Amino acid sequence: MTVGSVLGVVSLLILAAAPNVPALIGGWALAGLAMAATFYQPAFVALTRCSSSTGS
Could you tell me the residue ranges of all domains in the chain?
Answer: 2-53
How high is the pLDDT of residue 55?
A: 55
The Cα–Cα gap between 3 and 12 comes to 14
Q: Which amino acid is it at 24? A: L
Q: How many helices (H) and strands (E) does the chain have?
A: 2, 0
For position 7, what pLDDT does the model report?
A: 94
The whole-angstrom separation of Cα 36 and Cα 10 is 15
pLDDT for 14 equals 97
In this predicted model, what pLDDT tens digit does every residue of 7-54 receive, in sequence order? 999 999 999 999 999 999 999 999 999 998 888 888 788 888 888 765
Query: Residue 53 has what pLDDT?
Result: 67
Question: Which is more confidently placed, 12 or 2?
Answer: 12
In the prediction, which pLDDT does 2 show?
87
